[in-house]
């Protein structure tokens, strides 16, 4: 079967086409035939499209903010030009979507229906950077492939069984009954990386205590014990937790009350400030991109402040995850920053020396991928894993198809 996967993030979109033999579904065997990514972060009002297939890499830049138009162009490359791997889009058997927020309603992969779409839409206020893009992707596929079944795979699902003490907020109990609780996000990535870690270490996942660090424009940690998420940094929405590219992470809620009461800001203005104008971007005044921050921080005090604050918040919350686990066997770095920023890994591990973390500096510098970069003397393993949410989604779709 051929499965097209759509993975919409807060600042980018990735799509992949996989072939999975019908007789190999249970063996987690898949072949990536085509992949494409769209990045809106490099320049305001510009979309960078990169397509890889048939041994070729083709890149285009479009001056537009029309995300649907860029997505449509992206899928045209499946059947047109040198990147074509299909005669027509109708050859796609299933479409799988990463959906960020499923609330309490959806905790398993689900065939997409009108009810599912309504729920995704109703949850937009809780994932304003993601659920709208997820929903638009579903609607676009309905236009391009009206007869093709679609499956929603929810980022919140992996965290759906965290203990009540981790999920509940110290608020009036009836709010918890109404669904105000910690949901957690990046679950597809956290689960994939946990399973990959166990394979790389040649150990049973059920015997490991892991902190997985998904560090991209959006960022979260997960405490994984016995193969299950028992705590995580993101909460009711993807705004809580770590300092991120444009999101503030955890702050005193009294700040929001102060801004509304004393600064005469509207709810929408505060929402934009916390989700789109904070984090690395807000502190540095330069960029939400860690690459730009680390390039500029030697000569720019605010860039340096943004970097050091990022590391401080990251290390503090890793400590909180270790407390939930009551120990630590391995720490895992993944996603755009986690996989590609050697200095973030180095500074983080250096500050975690009290836990027995000891980094092999040379391994860390050499663009590690799916590799243990801890020194031989380290009491805690340190892994860099290339997260593959898309492959995980395709495998999930194949299991229920």
77 domain residue, yes or no: yes
Domain for residue 197, yes or no?
Answer: no
Has 336 been labeled as part of a binding site? yes
Element (H, E) at 258: helix 253-262
Domain count for the chain = 2
CATH number at residue 64: 3.30.420.40
Q: Among 5-9, 206-210, 389-393, whose mean pLDDT is lowest?
A: 5-9
Q: Do 143 and 212 lie in a common domain? A: no
Is 147 found in the same domain as 237?
Answer: no
56 domain-assigned = yes
What lies within 8 Å, CB to CB, of 51 at 6+ separation is: 34, 35, 36, 57, 58, 59, 60, 74, 77, 83
Same domain? For 10 and 149 the reply is yes
Q: What is the pLDDT of residue 107?
A: 84
| 24 confidence band (pLDDT: 50, 70, 90) | low
Q: Are 103 and 27 in the same domain?
A: yes
* Residue 17 to residue 94: CA distance in whole angstroms: 10
| pLDDT single digits (tens) 102-129 | 888 888 899 999 999 999 999 988 888 7
The CA distance from 233 to 222, in Å, is 7
Helix axes 114-122, 131-144, angle to 10 degrees: 150
Mean pLDDT value of segment 173-182 = 95
Is residue 362 a known part of a binding site?
no
Sign of CA dihedral 127, 130, 131, 132: positive
In a shared domain, residues 145 and 80: yes
* Cα separation values, 17 from 23, 167, 171, 367, Å: 18, 35, 44, 26
Tell whether 313 is covered by a domain: yes
211 and 114 assigned to the same domain: no
pLDDT score of 339 more than 80: yes
Is 358 annotated as contributing to ligand binding?
Answer: no
Please write the tens of the pLDDT for every residue from 47-83.
Answer: 889 999 999 999 988 888 777 788 888 889 999 999 9
H-run or E-run covering 231: strand 228-232
Is residue 217 part of an annotated ligand binding site?
A: yes
Q: Are residues 217 and 321 part of one domain?
A: yes
What angle do the packed helices 67-76 and 131-144 form, to 10 degrees?
Answer: 50
C-alpha to C-alpha distance for 37 and 211, rounded to whole angstroms: 28
Residue 191 domain flag: no
- Tokens, residue 81: 């030009």
377 is in an annotated binding site: no
Question: Are 2 and 79 within 8 A, CB to CB?
Answer: no
Per-residue model confidence (pLDDT) at position 401: 78
List the domain range (segments joined by +) for residue 98.
2-154
Residue 97: closest CA among 117, 78, 83: 117
pTM of the predicted protein model: 0.89
- For residues 305 and 223, membership in a common domain is answered with yes
Quick check: is 164 in a domain? no
Active site positions, annotated: 155
Report percent pLDDT > 70 for the chain: 97
**Mean pLDDT over all residues of the chain?**
92
CB count in 10 Å sphere of residue 83: 19
- Tell me, yes or no, whether 159 lies in a domain: no
Give a yes or no: residue 181 inside a domain. no
């Amino acid at each position: 079967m051929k499965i097209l996967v759509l993975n919409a993030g807060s600042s980018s979109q990735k799509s992949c086409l996989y072939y999975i033999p019908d007789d190999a579904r249970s063996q987690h065997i898949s072949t990536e035939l085509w992949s494409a990514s769209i990045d809106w972060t490099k320049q305001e009002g510009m979309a960078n499209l990169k397509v890889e297939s048939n041994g070729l890499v083709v890149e285009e830049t479009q001056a537009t903010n029309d995300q649907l138009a860029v997505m449509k162009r992206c899928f045209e490359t499946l059947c047109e030009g040198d990147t074509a791997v299909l005669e027509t889009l109708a050859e796609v058997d299933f479409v799988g979507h990463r959906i960020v927020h499923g609330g309490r309603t959806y905790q398993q992969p689900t065939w997409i229906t009108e009810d599912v779409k309504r729920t995704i839409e109703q949850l937009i206020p809780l994932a304003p950077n993601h659920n709208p893009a997820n929903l638009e992707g579903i609607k676009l596929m309905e236009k391009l492939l009206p007869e093709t079944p679609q499956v929603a795979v929810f980022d919140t699902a992996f965290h759906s069984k965290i203990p009540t003490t981790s999920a509940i907020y110290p608020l009036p109990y009836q709010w918890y009954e109404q669904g105000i609780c910690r949901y957690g996000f990046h679950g597809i990535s956290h689960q994939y990386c946990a399973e990959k870690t166990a394979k790389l270490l040649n150990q049973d996942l059920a015997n490991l205590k892991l902190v997985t660090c998904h560090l991209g424009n959006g960022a979260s940690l997960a405490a994984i014990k016995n193969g299950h998420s028992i705590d995580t940094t993101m909460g009711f929405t993807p705004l809580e937790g770590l300092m991120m590219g444009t999101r503030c992470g955890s702050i005193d809620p009294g700040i929001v009350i102060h801004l509304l009461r004393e600064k005469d800001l509207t709810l929408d203005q505060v929402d934009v400030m916390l989700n789109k104008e904070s984090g690395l971007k807000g502190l540095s005044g330069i960029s939400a991109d860690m690459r730009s921050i680390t390039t500029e921080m030697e000569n720019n005090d605010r860039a340096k402040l943004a970097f050091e604050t990022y590391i401080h918040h990251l290390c503090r919350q890793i400590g909180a995850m270790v407390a939930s686990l009551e120990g630590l066997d391995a720490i895992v770095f993944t996603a755009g920053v986690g996989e590609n920023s050697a200095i973030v890994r180095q500074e983080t591990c250096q500050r975690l020396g009290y836990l027995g973390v000891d980094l092999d500096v040379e391994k860390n510098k050499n663009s590690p991928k799916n590799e243990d970069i801890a020194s031989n003397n380290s009491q805690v393993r340190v892994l860099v894993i290339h997260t593959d949410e898309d492959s995980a989604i395709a495998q999930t779709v194949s299991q229920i198809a």
